[in-house]
Amino acid sequence: MTFVNWLKRRLVVIAGLLTLAYLLLPNIVVTVFSFNQPKGRFNYEWQEFSTEAWQDPCGVSGLCGSLTLSLRIALWATLGATLLGTMIAFALVRYRFRARGAVNSLIFLPMAMPEVVMAASLLTLFLNMGARLGFWTILIAHIMFCLSFVVVAVKARVMSMDPRLEQAAQDLYAGPFQTFVRVTLPIAAPGIAAGALLAFALSFDDFIITNFNAGSTVTFPMFVWGSAQRGTPVQINVIGTAMFVIAVVLVLVAMAVGNRRDRRKAQKTHRSPL
Amino acid sequence: MTTVAEAPPRAPAPETEPPRKRGRWTPYLLLVPGLLWLLVFFALPVIYQASTSVQTGSLEEGYEVTWHFATYWDALSEYWPQFVRSVLYAASATVLCLLLGYPLAYLIAFRAGRWRNLIMILVIAPFFTSFLIRTLAWKTILADGGPVVGALDTLHVLDVTAWLGWTVGDRVLATPLAVVCGLTYNFLPFMILPLYTSLERIDPRLHEAANDLYARPSTTFRKVTFPLSMPGVVSGTLLTFIPATGDYVNADLLGSTDTRMVGNVIQSQFLRILDYPTAAALSFILMAAILFMVMFYIRRSGTEDLV
Amino acid sequence: MTTTKDTTASGNGGDVRLTGIGKTYGSFTAVHPLDLTVPQGSFFALLGASGCGKTTTLRMIAGLEEPTSGTVHLGDQDVTALPPYKRPVNTVFQSYALFPHLDIFENVAFGLRRRGIRSVKKQVEEMLELVQLGEQARKKPHQLSGGQQQRVAVARALINHPKVLLLDEPLGALDLKLRRQMQLELKRIQTEVGITFVHVTHDQEEAMTMADTVAVMNAGRVEQLGSPTDLYENPRTTFVANFLGTSNFIEAEVDAKSGDEIVLKAGGGKLVLPRARTNAPTPTGGKVLVGVRPEKISLTHADDAGGIPEGRNRITGRIADSSFIGVSTQFVVDSPVCPDFEVYVQNIDRDTRLVPGAEVVLHWNPAHTFGLDAAQSLLAGTVGSAGAGTVEEEVAR
């Protein structure tokens, strides 16, 4: 009876942790299999422990090239989408203009559309225009589908910003440009950063739209896809594991730094006489 | 400041000074580059696609608009099983995501305490490993004769799922179950994050108030927590269902020819068979179907602000 | 300051002159065209309930709102068309609007830096000393208490030596005790720097404590303008009489006029009203509203009625309710001429017979009676009729 009660009270926690395990299981498998030495071309079955792949992560032809390309595309796409998206977000929150509804739906629709539809229709456009598929078509596509997500992230932040702050800046002799640079932008920065981060992640990991519009250019996800058909080198797992570890470590460090700063501030506040 | 543009023009202008037109053109200057991008690379392609879908011809001789609507009929009659399958798989994955994601989102919002940030990181961190690599990992996890399949077989779960048509024989890989499992896995974070956002906004004192007003924990959940988390449920289900319907990665990597979804068809028509009109027609039908379902769903759930 | 020539020398640089200034939003009139002059160096309060147009008026002076009609002059200069960042006027915003990403020092230095002043350290430190925040210079706004934030907002505005300092409900977010303290503090600073202060508030006590001149606003119009004592003693409308403190009203009929006095009939008795204390038309037989403040009235038990000196206005009634609030006891008296007459009695010698149900006589010096036009609502300006509600807040967004 007490056990049933105990279980009942912790049902949510147990179910939640099981879901968490479900989410993390593949990452554990990826990590473990980065130390595998497979017999055939595919790295799906455990054979024996080896650190060979870790010593030579670029050992597979084309792998690191595709990784660099993906990073390059993601950086440019982030830059483009963040710039354009931030401008739209500001216009949406801070100004009144005609056709606001139409603008809102144009921004919402790309998020409410399956990627394959956007990918296919963009390809028809490129084919009709006779564009050569490659770096530029991928970049164009990535900026397109990242844009809306940046708008949403920045908009949320700008909307929660007190308009009186900008009025205060104007009252204190800052012209429109100064107001924007000295007050609006710094305060909106966390939202812009969140949008940029999201855009980077979306672009870097995109497969479906890239698959349609890349031509013979190979990004990292395209490389993985190709190897799923031809044979998966262990190096893929090495890259996947490394990215996971780097991301977690970066976040933990950022959090620790933030915590330390907060605590230091708190102490200071505490010490000074009110 | 936004009201300035709307104020009626100043009555007889007293001095030589013209009335200030602060920022009349600014919004348009801000909007134009981004909107142009979306118009040219999102809206225009949709029109091109619609036009392609009613063209006839061949790759060698070129295509021409002939208003050949029969393509739609042919595409539907040939590929309706894939359409039905897509909706079924996506719907199953969405329901599973909700059932699995809700407890975790609830846990993070109300029960995690000082572990909250760590769990959040663990939910988001898998994103940083390419989803293709993670999906391939499911091939290992669900491998024939592996521990997972073995356990399911011993517990006779596979008999039940086979009877339901979800699995074939003593395999999980290359069956509908594997595809739905992969879809669920891939889109689970998209369910958890909106759920968490809307749960986190709920004032915990509401729970105390409900308890104080004689609601048992289960009643509190049904009458207070769940209704208040509806915005998260709506946007979570949409963020899961829409991409899942169009997905072809999971069906390709974890499924078989019997689990092909409409995304697989569009992809192969476009990139391998090069039958552009049929591919465009299929894609157009998918788009229309999704938009229709989303509109209906939003109307029903009464939430307008999804984003 | 940079773009305007300094006219302080001419002596009226800090005058604020509003001429026919008005503001409409679509069909809603927030401020009816009004004329107002705030003399240099004065502490001026715009007082009114929310939605009365006081904040809109202030924002038009600041340049944050464009007037629909009229002009704003600072001294001799017409600033109507100048954007806020070119006006020699600074504002202390409601809820302060301190820049969250800058520390206190940088918040205070903001205006100086925008005007291209390089060495700001000394000035900022002096200003922080003036508001007693020298220690907190390197903290972020959210680390300060409400009262400290308020002082930063004042310092941030004052450091620019504006010709006029505008304060938009600056004490609204503070608790009662701190508010009292800050009222005195602001008054001290104003005396010290001698700048014109225009202060918007809905708190009549705040306006009366701090301001030299108060303009009471109601529904987009200035209802009455004057010194706090003048407004309190000689309200010209029931709105002002009710909004500033509490007033008792008796509807009366003009019976006779003799010299400086008007004799009125109310119920069965007679009341005397000094002619100088009414601006209402008083034809014999006409109606007049007689007002008297609760603290001017004495309360005597009916048994002792004989001891009341001659020549005082008197009314009989029965105590309906009494509440003891320390300094005084507040009685509500049911009288034939007025259903709930309020009377505040100082607790010097408490008469134990004055309990609910007791028959009493209310009496006061006729000089404390004021007369108002009978053709207006008795309830204007009371809590229940606060009026336009939150229109102003909505409009301000």
Could you read off the pLDDT of C129-138 as tens digits, one per residue? 888 888 889 9
Answer whether residue C109 shows pLDDT above 90: yes
Please return the burial class of A102, using the count of CB atoms within 10 Å of its CB with bins 0-12, 13-18 and 19+. Answer: exposed
The DSSP element (H or E) to which A113 belongs, if any, is none
Q: Which residues contact C89 (CB under 8 A, 6 or more apart)?
A: A171, C61, C62, C63, C74, C79, C162, C163, C164, C165, C166
CB contact at 8 A, B245 and B90? yes
**Among B19-33, B271-285, C293-307, which is the least confidently predicted range?**
B19-33
Answer whether residue C258 shows pLDDT above 90: no
Q: Give me C338's structure tokens.
A: 């007025």
CB contact at 8 A, C62 and C87? yes
- SS3 state of residue A110: helix
Mean pLDDT of chain A: 89
* Position C392 in a domain: no
User: What per-residue string of b and e applies to B62-80 under the rule 16 or more CB within 10 Å gives b?
Assistant: ebeeeebeebbeebeeebe
Contacts of C81 in chain B (CB under 8 A): 15, 17-20
Prediction ipTM score = 0.87
pLDDT band at B3 (very low <50, low <70, confident <90, very high): very low
Q: How is chain B split into domains, by residue range? A: 25-68, 80-301
pLDDT band at B287 (very low <50, low <70, confident <90, very high): very high
Q: Tell whether C167 and C288 lie within a shared domain.
A: no
Answer whether residue A163 shows pLDDT above 90: no
Q: Which residues contact C156 (CB under 8 A, 6 or more apart)?
A: A172, C90, C98, C107, C108, C110, C111
CB contact at 8 A, C194 and C5? no
* Position C152 in a domain: yes
Beta-ladder partners of C111? none
Give the mean model confidence (pLDDT) for residues A73-90. Answer: 96
3-state secondary structure chain B: CCCHHHCCCCCCCCCCCCCCCCCCCHHHHHHHHHHHHHHHHHHHHHHHHHHHHCEEEECCCEEEECCCCHHHHHHHHHHHHHHHHHHHHHHHHHHHHHHHHHHHHHHHHHHCHHHHHHHHHHHHHHHHCCHHHHHHHHHHHCCCCCHHHHHHHHCCHHHHHHHHCCCECCECCCCHHHHHHHHHHHHHHHHHHHHHHHHHCCCHHHHHHHHHCCCCHHHHHHHHHHHHCHHHHHHHHHHHHHHHHHCCHHHHHHCCHHHCCHHHHHHHHHHHHCCHHHHHHHHHHHHHHHHHHHHHHHHHHCCCCCC
Q: For residue C192, which of C225, C219, C155 has the smallest C-alpha distance? A: C155
Q: Tell whether C220 and C300 lie within a shared domain.
A: no
Contacts of B294 in chain A (CB under 8 A): 112
Q: Do A117 and B283 touch (CB under 8 A)?
A: yes
Q: How is chain A split into domains, by residue range? A: 61-218
Q: Do A236 and B133 touch (CB under 8 A)?
A: yes
% chain C with pLDDT above 70: 93
Contacts of B19 in chain C (CB under 8 A): 66, 81
Give the CATH number of the domain where residue C141 resides.
3.40.50.300
**Among A133-147, B182-196, C254-268, which is the least confidently predicted range?**
C254-268
Contacts of A268 in chain C (CB under 8 A): 139
Size of chain C in residues: 397
Q: Tell whether C93 is within 8 A of chain A (Cβ).
A: yes
Q: Which residues contact B104 (CB under 8 A, 6 or more apart)?
A: A15, A16, A17, A19, A20, B119, B123, B192
What CA–CA distance (Å, rounded) separates A109 from A121?
14
Q: Tell whether C195 and C251 lie within a shared domain.
A: no
Q: How far is residue C144 CA from its own chain's centroid?
A: 29
Q: Tell whether C115 is within 8 A of chain A (Cβ).
A: yes
Neighbours of B (≥3 Cβ pairs closer than 8 A)? Answer: A, C
Q: Do A272 and C89 touch (CB under 8 A)?
A: no
The DSSP element (H or E) to which C233 belongs, if any, is helix C228-233
Domain A61-218 architecture: Orthogonal Bundle (1.10)
Q: Tell whether C295 and C262 lie within a shared domain.
A: yes
**Among A98-107, A140-149, A201-210, C370-379, which is the least confidently predicted range?**
C370-379
Query: Which of B25, B41, B216 should we substitute to test contact with A (largest number of A Cβ atoms within 10 Å)?
Result: B41
CB contact at 8 A, B125 and A23? no
- What's the DSSP call for residue A60? S
CB contact at 8 A, A90 and B23? no
What CA–CA distance (Å, rounded) separates C344 from B185?
74
Q: Do B11 and C25 touch (CB under 8 A)?
A: no
Q: Tell whether C323 and C274 lie within a shared domain.
A: yes
Q: Which residues contact A159 (CB under 8 A, 6 or more apart)?
A: A93
**C290 phi and psi, to 5 degrees?**
-100, 125
Q: Tell whether C39 and C187 lie within a shared domain.
A: yes
**B275 phi and psi, to 5 degrees?**
-95, 85
* Position C385 in a domain: no
Contacts of B139 in chain A (CB under 8 A): 44
Of B28, B46, B130, the CB nearest to A224: B130
Angle among Cα A203, A208, A210 to the nearest 5 degrees reads 60
% chain A with pLDDT above 90: 58
% chain B with pLDDT above 70: 91
| Count of domains forming chain C | 2
**Comparison of pLDDT for A169 and C50, the residue scoring more:** A169
User: What pLDDT, on a 0 to 100 scale, did the predictor assign at position C294?
Assistant: 92
Contacts of B6 in chain C (CB under 8 A): 25-26
Q: Do B140 and A94 touch (CB under 8 A)?
A: no
Contacts of C25 in chain B (CB under 8 A): 3, 6-7
Give the mean model confidence (pLDDT) for residues C73-91. Answer: 91
User: What pLDDT, on a 0 to 100 scale, did the predictor assign at position B58?
Assistant: 76
Q: Do A165 and C99 touch (CB under 8 A)?
A: yes
Neighbours of C (≥3 Cβ pairs closer than 8 A)? Answer: A, B
* Position C261 in a domain: yes
Answer whether residue B167 shows pLDDT above 80: yes
* Position C212 in a domain: yes
Give the mean model confidence (pLDDT) for residues B13-32. Answer: 60
**Among B12-21, B89-98, B185-194, which is the least confidently predicted range?**
B12-21
* Position C338 in a domain: yes
Fold of B80-301: MetI-like fold (1.10.3720)
Contacts of A174 in chain C (CB under 8 A): 85, 110, 114
Q: CB atoms < 10 A from the CB of B245, how many?
A: 27
CB contact at 8 A, A154 and A192? yes
User: What pLDDT, on a 0 to 100 scale, did the predictor assign at position B9?
Assistant: 35
The beta-strand segments (E) located in C93-193 are 164-168
Give the side-chain half-sphere CA count within 13 A for B250.
26
Give the mean model confidence (pLDDT) for residues C29-57. Answer: 91
Of A13, A85, A111, the CB nearest to B107: A13
* Position C292 in a domain: yes
Contacts of A24 in chain B (CB under 8 A): 122, 126
Answer whether residue B268 shows pLDDT above 50: yes
Give the mean model confidence (pLDDT) for residues C138-164. Answer: 91
The DSSP element (H or E) to which A47 belongs, if any, is none
pLDDT band at B1 (very low <50, low <70, confident <90, very high): very low
CB contact at 8 A, B142 and A257? no
Give the mean model confidence (pLDDT) for residues C374-390. Answer: 63
What CA–CA distance (Å, rounded) separates C380 from C377?
6
Answer whether residue B16 shows pLDDT above 80: no
The strands making up C261-266's β-sheet, listed across from edge to edge, are: C269-274, C261-266, C248-258, C287-292, C370-373
A270: nearest CA in chain C? C143
pLDDT band at C6 (very low <50, low <70, confident <90, very high): very low
Angle among Cα A24, A26, A30 to the nearest 5 degrees reads 120
Q: Do B49 and A120 touch (CB under 8 A)?
A: yes
* Position C389 in a domain: no
Please return the burial class of B264, using the count of CB atoms within 10 Å of its CB with bins 0-12, 13-18 and 19+. Answer: buried
Q: Do B11 and C68 touch (CB under 8 A)?
A: yes
C100: nearest CA in chain A? A187
Q: Do C97 and A186 touch (CB under 8 A)?
A: no
Query: Which of C68, C79, C391 should we substitute to test contact with B (largest number of B Cβ atoms within 10 Å)?
Result: C68
Question: What domain range is C158 assigned to?
Answer: 8-238
Answer whether residue C384 shows pLDDT above 60: no
Q: Last residue of some domain: C171, C205, C238?
A: C238
- What's the DSSP call for residue C84? G
Q: Tell whether C86 and C187 lie within a shared domain.
A: yes
pLDDT band at B220 (very low <50, low <70, confident <90, very high): confident
C2: nearest CA in chain A? A173
Give the CATH number of the domain where residue C307 resides.
2.40.50.100
Of A148, A163, A205, the CB nearest to B130: A205
